[in-house]
Amino acid sequence: MKAPRDPELDALFEELSPGDRELQDFAQMLRSVPRPGASADPDPAFRHALRRRLMQEAWKLSTRRQPWYRRLFSTPTGLAWAGAAVGALLIGLAGLAVLAHPTHGPETTVSVVSPLNDARTVAVVQPIELDFNQPMDTRSVEEAVKISPATRVSYQWVSPTRVEITPMSGTLAPNTQYRVVVAPTAKTRDGTTLGKPAVVTFVTTAPPATPGPTPSQSPTAGPAPQLGGVRELVPSGTPAPAWSADGGTLYVVGPDGSLKAVTIAGGTRTLVPGGVTAVAAGPSGPAYVANGQVVYGQTTVPGLQPLALGFRGSALLIGTAQGVVDASGTSVAAFAETARQVDIAPDGAHAVYLGASGTLHVVDLSTGKDVAVGTAAGLGDWSGSADRYAYPGAGVVQVTDMAGDVSRLVGVGGVTGVSWSGASQILLATGSDLEMVNADGSGLHRVAAGDFEQPEWSPSGEQFAFKRNGAVWVAQLLGSLPSESPSPTTGDEQGFVQSFLNGAASGSGAPASGQLDQNGRQAYQRLLQTQPNFGGFSRSYVVLLQPGRAVVRLIYGQGVTQTAIDVTLTLVRDAEGNLRVHDLSAQPVANFGKGPQVLSVSVGRNQVRVQFDSDLMASSVQAGGVVLEGVSNLQVAYDASSRTVILTVPGGLASGSTYTLQVTGTLEDVSQRAATPYELSFTA
């Protein structure tokens, strides 16, 4: 029992000889009896009554010569009283055990586990899974869960004992330690609470570094393109519209599920009155999904749950969660994992799909070969020749070929839509603006601010469609995209910085041999005087990468004991053209992990993007939470899907000028935790 020892009762036994055999036998008997209620608090009334009875009997017997416990056992009356007392004690303890745990049966302790706990490479699209050993009261669990960094989430209970927690933005922040705490207030369906907090800690995967391309000083083309001919067509539902092969018609699914053919020259006709949930353009008109079946011309395919429609020549292809089938339902290719989204190439030779794990796959529809490409934030679009596929990652847009080899296209965060024209120009919608880039990654240009959901080039490439405010719109691009190439050193420097970090993270904590020039070696020794444990960091990532300069963040410790420093590397090239660290310095990051933290900074011609690890209060962003020092008329936007603050400078950043990014204490996350003031300098 949890009740404290009673000194007076103990004293009754202390008066006896330590070697008394009868007393030892009596004590041993009490110890050997099972005590199911030992962890329960005894009822005060029962405890006091039992104590009073024992003291009374002991007092009566203590006046006789024979020790009280011997007289207690030596007469029938005394034995009866002793038996009654012991029996009452055991019955009371058993009753208390039942009262303390009335209906649980053998399962009395509530526990929670997660397959993500202590994982170091969790995909950013991975839901947070919590498994309980008993059916839970769902509302109490959801109210008890606290996530750091602050993240807006939704809950899906796949069973009474398992919940999947998914960020409202669709992804977790990259290269971030998450700490999920389930408070003791979480309870089972029959009211048993957790007892003590349950903590799950994991780290998400690191994204590719996201340096912005460095434009050449002399564009080889005319003025940057601007929007023209912007006009609204018809109301639209959720499915993306589809262009006809000649680019003269858009097939649009309306809010009421009707399918309409909208001619660009003017005119609309209804093809299907309702029930349509997806549409694709085929050589003989639209194919669509209506009322649970696929329809294309006179062909009807029931019994499927299509995720995508496509064509190989004139033959219809249907993408499902398990694979691609033809119009007869015959399997064309099976997927290696369950698909969430599918995109069939325009020539029908390949398909890509986003698996349940968040991994992008490329599938050869002729051989069935399935190649896992890597983590993706969503699907994208095919090149005009259908031999490459551009898709958004974490803070970057990447391109894969059909063999699964991946290359970085451009550093842009929060991309929600990708459209690749036949002229090798790619539209990127971020939720707050529209950008365009050449297929080689050069010439990144912000076309316009605003919502450009599901952009889609027409086959001619003269105009594109997009969705906004529940309607389909079309627009043209006036002017051509400047032909600008990234600095040839960008990729080289990116690899060098990563190699430097790998060397510093090794057991010795020293950079790899030959990475420092003479001045760099002296700077490194000075750094060790202030940071003797420089190489003991648990993880790292690149905050800013520009030609000749990098800022990397080193995180020490885990859980709630994390600290961090920002190390600035100055890079130069020796006579042979090899990169070397010429200088390095460290600055502690104040209150790391105690509020929203900067993950990456990407600098463009007229825009600075700052990605955070937390979901932010949009009002605090607009109230001066993130600014550029000394820049007037700064336009500030927040992309919640990528946790990115977008700073736009009218007229552009002055080339060669130094700017200071400031995160102020005004900035708050959705848990109303204020950011610690932070500054970062960069050169435009």
What tens digit of pLDDT does each residue of 527-536 get?
A: 888 888 787 8
User: Domains plus CATH for the chain?
Assistant: 7-100 (no CATH), 112-203 (2.60.40.3710), 487-586 (3.10.450.50), 590-684 (2.60.40.1220)
Which residues, 6+ apart, have CB-to-CB distance to 174 below 8 Å?
124, 204, 205, 206, 207, 394, 395, 541, 599
Q: H/E/C letters for each residue in 516-570?
A: ECHHHHHHHHHHHHHCCCCCCCCEEEEEEEECCEEEEEEEECCHHHCEEEEEEEE
Higher-confidence residue of 442 and 381: namely 381
Return the HEC string of 285-311.
EEEEEECCEEEECCEEECCCCCCEEEE
Give the residues across from 130 on adjacent strands. 163
HSE value, Cβ hemisphere, 13 Å, CA-based, for 146? 9
- End-to-end alpha carbon distance in the chain: 72
Mean predicted confidence (pLDDT) in 512-520: 80
pLDDT at 384: 84
Cβ pair 362, 376 in contact under 8 A: no
Q: Is the pLDDT of residue 672 over 90?
A: yes
**Mean pLDDT, the chain, whole residue set:** 82
Map residue 136 onto helix, strand or coil.
strand
Counting residues of the chain whose pLDDT is more than 90, the rounded percentage is 47
Distance CA 619, CA 638 (A): 9
Joined together, the tokens standing for residue 153 give 């989430």
Query: Residue 424: what pLDDT?
Result: 79
State the DSSP string of 619-681.
HHIIIIIEEETT-SS-EEEEETTTTEEEEE-TT-PPTT-EEEEEE-TT-BBTT-PBPPPEEEE
Pairing mode, if any, of strands 249-253 and 242-243? antiparallel
Q: How does pLDDT run across 71-92, given as a tens digit for each residue? A: 544 455 554 555 555 455 555 5
Let me know if 453 is exposed, middle or buried by CB neighbors in 10 A (0-12, 13-18, 19+): middle
67 class by beta-carbon count within 10 Å (0-12 exposed, 13-18 middle, 19+ buried): middle
Name the DSSP class of 223.
S
Return the pLDDT at 109.
Answer: 84
**pLDDT reported for residue 281:** 92
Can you spell out the DSSP letters for 165-213?
Answer: EEETTSSPPTT-EEEEEE-TT-BBTTS-B-SS-EEEEEEBPPPPP-PPP
Taking alpha carbons only, the member of 624, 669, 664 closest to residue 647 is 624
Q: What is the DSSP letter of 335?
A: -
Among 327, 369, 364, CA closest to 345: 364
Structure tokens at 46: 């029962």
Reported residue count of the chain is 684
Portion of the chain with pLDDT greater than 70, in percent? 78
Kindly tell me if the per-residue pLDDT of 221 is higher than 60.
Answer: no
Confidence class for position 414, pLDDT limits 50, 70, 90: confident
Average pLDDT rounded to a whole number, residues 516-537: 86
Q: Across the chain, which distance is largest between two alpha carbons, in Å? A: 119
Please tell me which residue, 18 or 152, carries the higher pLDDT value: 152
| Residue 198 backbone dihedrals phi, psi, to 5 degrees | -105, 135
Give the per-residue pLDDT at 51: 60
Top mean pLDDT of 32-41, 57-66, 98-107, 642-651 is at 642-651
Q: Is 252 exposed, middle or buried (0-12, 13-18, 19+ CB in 10 A)?
A: buried
SS3 500: helix
In three-state secondary structure terms, 99 is helix
Give the pLDDT confidence score for residue 39 in this predicted structure: 47
pLDDT, residue 60, reads 55
Burial of 277 (0-12, 13-18, 19+ CB in 10 A): middle
Determine the pLDDT at residue 578.
Answer: 83
In sequence order, what are the residues at sequence separation of 6 or more whose Cβ sits closer than 8 angstroms to the Cβ of residue 610? 598, 600, 601, 626, 644, 645, 647, 661, 663
- For residues 203-222, average pLDDT: 51
Q: Label residue 400 by pLDDT band (50, 70, 90).
A: very high
CB 540 within 8 A of CB 505: yes
Q: Token pair 């989430």 is at which residue?
A: 153
Q: Give the whole-angstrom CA distance, residue 147 versus residue 245.
A: 48
**Strand order, beta sheet including 259-263:** 242-243, 249-253, 259-263, 268-272
> How many other CB atoms are there within 10 angstroms of residue 569's CB atom?
25
How far, in Å, CA of 42 to CA of 46, rounded?
A: 7
From 69-73, 133-137, 410-414, 446-450, the region with the lowest mean pLDDT: 69-73
Question: In the prediction, which pLDDT does 69 show?
Answer: 47
The answer to whether the CB of 140 falls within 8 A of the CB of 162 is no
**Tokens 């090239």, residue located:** 573
323 to each of 276, 352, 360, 605, how far by Cα in Å? 22, 10, 14, 43
- 582 compared with 220, residue with greater pLDDT: 582
pLDDT band with cut points at 50, 70 and 90 for residue 487? very low
- The token pair at 383 is 């090149």
| Local confidence band at 54 (pLDDT 50, 70, 90 cut-offs) | low
Helix (H, G, I), strand (E, B) or coil at 609: strand
pLDDT for 294 beyond 70: yes
Query: What is the rounded CA–CA span in Å between residue 322 and residue 339?
Result: 7
* 455-462 average pLDDT score: 84
Per-range mean pLDDT, top range of 18-27, 262-271, 309-318, 460-469: 309-318
16-43 per-position pLDDT tens digit: 444 455 555 655 555 555 555 444 555 5
pLDDT in tens, 360-380: 999 999 999 999 999 999 999
Task: Name the packing angle between helices 44-62 and 7-14 (round to 10°).
Answer: 30
pLDDT, tens digit, for every residue of 237-260? 999 999 988 788 999 999 999 999
Which of these, 678, 625, 679, lies nearest to 647 by C-alpha position? 625
The yes-or-no verdict on residue 102 having pLDDT over 70 is: no
